[in-house]
Structure 1
Amino acid sequence: MRAKRASSAQLTKLVLLPKNPTRKELSLFLFLRHFSLDVSSSATTTTTTTTAAAADDDAEAVTRVVELLQSQDVNWEGEKLRQLLSSSNSPFTHFRLLQIIRRVGDSSKALKFLEWIEQYTSSSSSSPISSSLPQAPSASVYQALFELASREPDYDQKLSQLLLTSKARGVPLTRDSASLLIRCFGRAQMAMESVRVFNDLDPSLRNTYLYNTLIDVLFKSDRTDDALRILNDMLAPDSSSPPNDVTGSIVFSALLKRNQPRRVVSGEEIIELISKMGESGVFPDAVRLTQLVTKLCRSGNTGRAWDVLHLVMKMGGAVEVPSCNSLLTGLGRERDLERMNLLMSEMKQIGIQPSVVTFGILINNLCKSRRVDEALQVFEKMSTEGENAGVAVQPDVITFNTLIDGLCKVGRQEEGLTLVDRMKSQLSCSPNIVTYNCLIDGFCKAGEIERSHELLERMKEEGVPPDVVTLNSLVDGMCSHGRISRAVEFFRDMQRSGLKGNVVTYTTLINAFCHVNNIDKAMELFEEMVGSGCCRDPVVYYTLISGLGRAGRLDDAWSFALKMQEAGFHLDTMSYNILISGFCKKKKLDKAYEMLKQMEKEGIRPDGVTYNTLIGTLSKEGDFSTAHQVMRKMIDEGLVPTVVTYGALINGYCRAGLLDEAMKIYRDLGSTSKIPPNTVIYNILIDSHCKDKKIEAALSLMDEMHIKGVPPSTTTYNALFKGLQEKNWLDKAFELMDQMHTKACNPDYVTMEILTEWLSAVGETAKLKRFVEGYEVSVSNM
């Protein structure tokens, strides 16, 4: 007969658990508790209640330990911590240790607690704590410490120290620990620490996610080469961690990074990367592919962009219309219409339906290339494409405006106007301000000012208010065709209607008045512009300085230049050249030199025009010594003297009657300077020789012109006719008269004046008549 099982109360009386039980005593106590459970139905309830009570007890014990560790007066040598850990009825488990570490909130205290536990268990091998914990801390314990440290302000230092400690204790990293460390070190700009963590991890624990984490850190730290090396490991044929779409997102986003101070991935590398990743089925998504193509095109690598898009197509990646549009835009910038048409054809073949933007890009570039008829063909194709192959694309207002602008720019305004009626036939497409501005500008440039005004009234009637662009087009058109007063009147009318002009409006009017030498009106308009609060720009200042310079009002021009500087703008080389040229014409060389010094003071480098102006003026004044000094300075500044430079010197020497010096420079042109003389230089020399009664030398220079392929001008022949007249050398004159017809060089009034006087005096009016009628006149041809 089986003995009756003792009740729980009876067993508790038999064995009382001492305050500090040994392992043997604890084991016996737990063994007896196990067998004290009643087999009746009430046993389940009792067990559940006991388990819940134990769990509450454990939670309370953990809370007390955490509170003690978080306090400022933790006594690591005292008994309080030991008593708290021993107060629970259940063993101190690894799980409870992790709970305490995670809740402490301070990695330093958590590590100190771990070290205390280790010391305590090693010194008290018989304690309940020692019996339920491993002899060395596990990887999961350090993972908890890493997680705790990663949330602290000085996480980089804390993690580095914890990593060293774990290595010293021989604790291996878990995959989660490695991922956390790589991300945290990357955030702290400690990319190479991230690499070391990755290398220290057991290779069997590395997966695609971990590779992606490290590659992302390296790219963000601008360690492109290191990132590409890691990526190559993933792309290896035997790789156990192949790339996925996340890898692609990281890599292609990095390639699109605008500022890469250390390393810029070349177009060839991008193509190689796309090829290798494509073999693993990873391609740029539609957005990133579009961005990649755009970036390559904008950096001048349109050919590479073409290769990238076609590589993705070939390997089966998804290609959508925005990517094609981006490439079309890049090809358009290079005016590569042949490949634009080829891409359009390829889109059709692989089933990519062009959008209205696609057609708009093609039409825009055809119009910019002045191939408007082809643009019109594309325009017509848009709405008829669907008849044979699918969905037609209805042109939008931008497409219409692009085509209308293209037609206007080639002088086909009437056709552009016809398109407006077609726009109105589409319910969702009405002409807007841009439409009318294109037409008005086109008619203005064609001189049809009245038609432009008719369009202005028409747009008002249709509820499209004119803007400042409309105003500027009409003002410019009227000024360009000599209707300056009408332009001002129109401007005043628009002002009264509430449309104010801008700096372009005023600059156009100021420039027009400067060209008709009405400087006072130009200055008045400038003052009006300033008074109206209109924003000024350098162009309006340059316009007035130029106008004042041409009018000879150099002091006013310089005064205005100072105003320009006060307004925050700087004179450029062109403005200084205008002033220097003006002072030179007025023979105020001291003022011209002052301008030159001012240029150098402001760091504005004089150009060839500056030096040529000074050299020309000095040569005309006969100051050849200074002229040559200026020329040497010009060369020292890195500027090469041109035919204009030498021409100025030659002209000066000829005017001074120093033909030998002039000829010396002429001979140097073909030898030392390697600059061939032009028609102007030959004309100066031939005229000077003729005036010096050296007609043979002048004719010899004419022969050199023929040999060197320099075309003579009417001025050349006029100088020779004058010289030949002095010697009454008729035969040579008749020969030159025939030569003029051969060279298609038409006589002018000077030619006719010389020949009429000469040939009439010697009774050769018949020859003159034949010359005028275009027939040969030389003796050998009579």
Structure 2
Amino acid sequence: MNTILPLSKYSRLLRRHILKPHRRLCTESNPQPLTPLQDDERKIDQAVQILLETPHPEWSSSQPLQSLLFSSPPLPPCFILKITRGLPSYCRALNFFEHLRQNSASPDTQFLSHSFQALLEQAGRGPDAASRLPELYRASKEWEVPLTVDAAALLIRYFGRLEMVDNSILVFDELDPSLKNTHVRSVLIDSLLRDGRVDLALNVLDEMLQPLSEVPPNDITGDIVFYALTKAGRKGRSLSDEELVQLVLQFGKHSVFPKTKWLTRLISSLCRRGQIFQAWDFMHELLRLGAPLESFHFNLLLSGLGRQGDLKRMNAVLAEMKEYGIQPNAFTLGILINQLCKLRRVDDAMEVFNKTVEAKQSDGVSIEVDIVIMNTLIDGLCKVGRQEEGLHLMERKKSSKGIVPDTVTYNCLINGFCKVGEIERGIELFERMKEEGVSPNVITVNILIDGMCRHGRTDSALEFFRDMQGKGVKGNSVTYTALVTAFSKAHNFGKVVDLFDEMVRSGCSADPTVYCSLISGFCRAGRMDDAGKVYSNLKAAGFHPDIGCYNALISGFCKMRKIDKANEIIKEMEEAGVKPNIVTFNTVIACLSEAGNFTLAHRVMKQMKKEGLTPKATTFGALIHGYCLNGKLDKARKLFDDMSTSAKILPSTATYNILIESLCKVNDVQAALSLMDDMKAKGVKPNTTTYNAMFKGLKENNLSDDAVLLVDGMIDSGCRPDNQTMEILTGWLSAGGSEKLRSFVQGNKVSSLTA
């Protein structure tokens, strides 16, 4: 029921909303007039205040409100938008919109469109948005209130967020073409991508990406598209890197480029998958389009080329960087130097280092060397046996550039000296780094322990480890693996078991390498029961044996003539999906051949070929050795001939030695000498074992003249005699022998030889 305000109340409202803003509570004699902007804000505030304080049924009779809303000239549409937006609830906003629609005499529908836009904002934020928005959209068509561009975008966005994407598509399809601008299309694309409708979104985008498009994409479009398409775990199909590349280039034709992180991710993905040339072509196109590429984009390309060892193209990339005015940084230099060092082109790396770092370039740009670059160079020098130069480089840079060596620097140098057996130099550097306040880490300790173990100083390695433990440095699985492997090779299994138990007690998780090292050691020592226990523990720990572990067990059981056990391991290996390799087949063939089961040995060899593995010299050698052991020398010689002619495989020194030794044992020394001539003619070098077999055969037949010729050949080839050589020849001399043999023996004292 409508009521008429009493005159007194009307007067109070009039004074409050019309006169109040002009009152000044200040002491200024002549207050400054309101600016146009302030006046606009005042009118909006007045209208909102009246709407809030006047009951809805009385709005039509409120003269102040009517004067504000329907004055001449009429309020701009943006005023109506702000007034509607200023109302505190959807219901108030809807009442206000109805009031405008019923009371406005103006044919200008923009007046209502902006109020409707604010009404949509109110509805979209409320809890009943899913029901209110479709109702409002239907009502707008009934009332013939056209949507503004922003209202259309709002509807599409709200429907998308409410997972009512079909409604978003409907709104877009029914829009006047003039409203389908870049902003509206971008909002629709965003909704489609969020809902996983990738192909539909790309269809909308395709029209925007056309060369002469009237609605080209902008940076916001690009952000929406590339964020959605590169986001992990999003809905919809994934685009391939190739599709993303084409999309980026299409955007680039409109001078829109992805943000750095997305562009970096794409180039990195191409390089990581080995598509270096595609990455290079892509970057060329981006440069042509004016993309803001930076040095780290080129560094990604350089890293990819480095992994492929393509130094020529790496230099081409560096030249292009200079051409486009993109300055390389320390990381760029590090990539190039690292690759040169990996290719063992350390002199080239040093030249690049000196030219780029130490000398000012013609354009005045230089790159300051850092510890990473210096360490890369030192590591490269050490890996090619030039550790002295690496040490000199460290000292030179320390004094001239003030670069303080770190743990990595010393680790590289210590490793370099240990690799060539200069353990004492490594220990000296270890002591020096501690004196200079550089803390060694477990890697430092492992390098020294590994070096000692590799050069037969296993006890020293363990003593050093105990000393470091006393100083608080704990070992890791690498430490224990080195020690376990070394003591296994020395057949000191008491220490092996103690070290393994200590590793477990210390909380250091045993990895498969330790288990396999133990298994291999026990197998070599013929302790198959112990090997079997460790094998069971390995599986119980949740590890899967590798092919090396299986081969060690198969070899161990074969040597013990436990063929059934070896077959069990082979079956387990196949069930685990581990394919036998050439070592597996050679081991089985050798075992069967030694046992005289040549039928089965040849069958295994055929199976090996079916598996796509080509027999090697060691494969034929295993069969030849078996024939020789079983007195089938004719078959051994025939297989040896077939190996060279039919199989086109050059026999190894070991294969020649097997046959030569067998021929000498049956006193066919001339055939053995002929074989030795054959191996020399084919470029296969005889070794000490070859000569020892021949000396033994010649001694049995007292062919001293031939022995003298062999001595001359041994001296000419630089092949050193060993204790067995001296034993054979010394025994021969006691029974006579020639003066030249006596002279040879006297010139090579047994005490001076390596046992």
TM-score range, shorter chain: 0.7 to 0.9
Work out the CA distance in 1 between the residues paired with 2:47 and 2:240.
Answer: 65
Find the counterpart in structure 1 of residue 291 from structure 2.
317
**Residue among 676, 681, 688 paired with 1:742:** 681
Matches within 5 A, 1:478-517: 478-517=452-491
AA paired with 2:410?
Y
Give the deviation of 1:728 after TM superposition. Answer: 7.8
Q: Does 1:152 align with 2:126?
A: yes
Work out the CA distance in 2 between the residues paired with 1:498 and 1:724.
Answer: 60
Structure 1 runs not aligned, ≥5 long: 1-17, 22-28, 38-43, 66-80, 122-128, 645-674, 776-782
Work out the CA distance in 2 between the residues paired with 1:348 and 1:101.
Answer: 55
Find the counterpart in structure 2 of residue 705 from structure 1.
644
Matches within 5 A, 1:303-452: 303-426=277-400, 429-452=403-426
AA paired with 2:624?
N
Work out the CA distance in 2 between the residues paired with 1:55 and 1:529.
Answer: 79
Q: Does 1:180 align with 2:154?
A: yes
Work out the CA distance in 2 between the residues paired with 1:152 and 1:298.
Answer: 48
Structure 2 runs not aligned, ≥5 long: 24-38, 71-78, 715-755
Give the deviation of 1:498 after TM superposition. Answer: 1.7
Give the deviation of 1:622 after TM superposition. Answer: 6.7
Check the 8 A contact 1:297/1:327 in 2, yes or no: yes
**Residue among 397, 411, 430 paired with 1:456:** 430
Find the counterpart in structure 1 of residue 190 from structure 2.
216
Residues 167-203 of structure 1: CA deviation (Å, up to 9, x unaligned):
4655433211221122223334454543333232212
Q: Does 1:227 align with 2:201?
A: yes
Check the 8 A contact 1:686/1:720 in 2, yes or no: no
The 3 A distance-change label for structure 1 pair 719 and 299 is closer
Check the 8 A contact 2:50/2:65 in 1, yes or no: no
Give the aligned CA root-mean-square deviation in angstroms. 4.6
Work out the CA distance in 2 between the residues paired with 1:97 and 1:693.
Answer: 107
Give the count of matched residue pairs.
670
* 1:425 aligned counterpart, secondary structure: helix
Which of structures 1 and 2 has the bigger CA Rg?
Answer: 1
Work out the CA distance in 2 between the residues paired with 1:488 and 1:606.
Answer: 37
Work out the CA distance in 1 between the residues paired with 2:43 and 2:710.
Answer: 132
Check the 8 A contact 1:611/1:631 in 2, yes or no: yes
Work out the CA distance in 1 between the residues paired with 2:337 and 2:251.
Answer: 36
Find the counterpart in structure 1 of residue 719 from structure 2.
none
TM-score of the superposed pair, with normalisation by structure 2? 0.75
Work out the CA distance in 2 between the residues paired with 1:188 and 1:46.
Answer: 44
* 2:362 aligned counterpart, secondary structure: helix
Work out the CA distance in 2 between the residues paired with 1:272 and 1:643.
Answer: 45
Residues 370-403 of structure 1: CA deviation (Å, up to 9, x unaligned):
1111110111012345252212211011111111
Find the counterpart in structure 1 of residue 624 from structure 2.
683
Work out the CA distance in 2 between the residues paired with 1:526 and 1:729.
Answer: 51
Work out the CA distance in 2 between the residues paired with 1:251 and 1:426.
Answer: 52
Find the counterpart in structure 1 of residue 529 from structure 2.
555
AA paired with 2:353?
F
**Residue among 206, 212, 216 paired with 2:180:** 206
Give the deviation of 1:261 after TM superposition. Answer: 7.2
AA paired with 1:225?
D
Work out the CA distance in 1 between the residues paired with 2:3 and 2:476.
Answer: 96
Work out the CA distance in 1 between the residues paired with 2:546 and 2:672.
Answer: 50
Residues 411-470 of structure 1: CA deviation (Å, up to 9, x unaligned):
110111111122212555211111111101111111111111111111111111211111
Work out the CA distance in 1 between the residues paired with 2:265 and 2:448.
Answer: 41
Check the 8 A contact 1:207/1:241 in 2, yes or no: yes
The 3 A distance-change label for structure 1 pair 229 and 592 is same
Check the 8 A contact 1:596/1:606 in 2, yes or no: no
AA paired with 1:742?
A
Residues 254-305 of structure 1: CA deviation (Å, up to 9, x unaligned):
5644567754444554454444433333334555443432232123222122
Give the deviation of 1:543 after TM superposition. Answer: 1.6
Work out the CA distance in 1 between the residues paired with 2:65 and 2:692.
Answer: 124
* 1:443 aligned counterpart, secondary structure: helix
AA paired with 1:356?
A
Residues 541-582 of structure 1: CA deviation (Å, up to 9, x unaligned):
222122222222222222223333444434445434433443
The 3 A distance-change label for structure 1 pair 261 and 545 is farther
Matches within 5 A, 1:458-607: 458-595=432-569, 603-605=576-578, 607=580
Find the counterpart in structure 1 of residue 725 from structure 2.
none
* 2:159 aligned counterpart, secondary structure: helix
Matches within 5 A, 1:632-651: 640=611, 642=613
Residues 40-86 of structure 1: CA deviation (Å, up to 9, x unaligned):
xxxx979989x999997984554565xxxxxxxxxxxxxxx75x555
Residues 568-614 of structure 1: CA deviation (Å, up to 9, x unaligned):
4344454344334433433344544554565577x454535667756
Residues 653-710 of structure 1: CA deviation (Å, up to 9, x unaligned):
xxxxxxxxxxxxxxxxxxxxxx999642773597589x45858x95697377346533
Matches within 5 A, 1:659-698: 679-680=620-621, 683=624, 687=628, 691=631, 698=637
Work out the CA distance in 2 between the residues paired with 1:161 and 1:514.
Answer: 82
The 3 A distance-change label for structure 1 pair 620 and 106 is farther
The 3 A distance-change label for structure 1 pair 448 and 527 is same
The 3 A distance-change label for structure 1 pair 712 and 686 is farther
Check the 8 A contact 2:625/2:659 in 1, yes or no: no
Work out the CA distance in 1 between the residues paired with 2:347 and 2:47.
Answer: 90
The 3 A distance-change label for structure 1 pair 185 and 575 is farther
Work out the CA distance in 2 between the residues paired with 1:771 and 1:551.
Answer: 36
Residues 116-139 of structure 1: CA deviation (Å, up to 9, x unaligned):
989xx9xxxxxxx66769899944
Work out the CA distance in 1 between the residues paired with 2:563 and 2:338.
Answer: 52
Work out the CA distance in 1 between the residues paired with 2:617 and 2:651.
Answer: 14
Give the deviation of 1:640 after TM superposition. Answer: 1.5
Matches within 5 A, 1:55-94: 59=49, 62-63=52-53, 65=55, 82=57, 84-85=58-59, 88-89=62-63
Give the deviation of 1:220 after TM superposition. Answer: 4.0
Work out the CA distance in 1 between the residues paired with 2:297 and 2:238.
Answer: 22
- Per mean C-alpha deviation after superposition, the further-off stretch among 496-505 and 716-725 is 716-725
Check the 8 A contact 1:699/1:720 in 2, yes or no: no
Check the 8 A contact 1:441/1:473 in 2, yes or no: yes
* 1:388 aligned counterpart, secondary structure: coil
Give the deviation of 1:344 after TM superposition. Answer: 1.3
Check the 8 A contact 1:243/1:277 in 2, yes or no: yes
Check the 8 A contact 2:160/2:192 in 1, yes or no: yes
Check the 8 A contact 2:589/2:623 in 1, yes or no: no
Work out the CA distance in 1 between the residues paired with 2:59 and 2:396.
Answer: 90
Work out the CA distance in 1 between the residues paired with 2:22 and 2:223.
Answer: 52
Find the counterpart in structure 1 of residue 30 from structure 2.
none
Check the 8 A contact 1:62/1:96 in 2, yes or no: no
The 3 A distance-change label for structure 1 pair 277 and 575 is same
Check the 8 A contact 1:234/1:242 in 2, yes or no: yes
Check the 8 A contact 1:57/1:88 in 2, yes or no: no
- Per mean C-alpha deviation after superposition, the further-off stretch among 129-138 and 341-350 is 129-138
**Residue among 696, 703, 707 paired with 1:753:** 696
- Per mean C-alpha deviation after superposition, the further-off stretch among 142-151 and 400-409 is 142-151
AA paired with 2:503?
M
